[in-house]
Amino acid sequence: MMKRADILRAQYMRAWQNDEPAAIGDLFHPDAAASGLVPGLPLGAEEFRRLIAAIQDLVEPPRITIEETVEQGDWLAGFACMHTRRIDRHQDLNVGGMVIARFDGPAIVEAYNSFDFITFFEELGLLPDNTAAPCLTGRRRA
């Protein structure tokens, strides 16, 4: 039986690098939803496919690496990194994220995710550089 981290790596490769949207359906149990990527909106397989498509409209096909993992029982926690390039400038873009998922066999039945969208949008030029620093001051812009 494959380790959960290997299952995640294989399905991410299919979904992101090989542009196989069906991989998400293979990875997620039909009733599963991933929380945390879009606040207040749990993502099932179909919504996750749409998120991948939206991101792929902005960047070259990304390579997702699972850098570090911890497995315990049915749970997998991992740090992932998206390695890609901007479509418009062919500039390297590397952004990190976390996944915590509960598996039933080879399928995710529950997931909690975090992705560094601030850095992602900064590197795309959609947010100013160092957006987080002024936000941490607590001052509102006039």
Q: What are the domain boundaries of the chain?
A: 4-83+94-115
Cα within 13 Å of Cα(87), Cβ side: 8
Whole-number Å distance between alpha carbons of 75 and 118: 27
Is residue 2 within 8 A of residue 26, CB to CB? The reply is no
Provide the 8-state DSSP code for 20.
-
- CATH architecture of the region 4-83+94-115: Roll (3.10)
Question: What digits encode the pLDDT tens for the residues 69-96?
Answer: 999 999 999 999 999 999 988 899 999 9
In the DSSP assignment, the letter for residue 60 is S
What is the average pLDDT across 86-107?
93
pLDDT of residue 10 exceeding 80, the answer is yes
Specify whether the CB–CB gap between 77 and 98 falls below 8 A.
yes
- The arithmetic mean of pLDDT across residues 24-51, rounded, is 88
CA distance 113 to 38: 9
Residue 131 is given by DSSP the state T
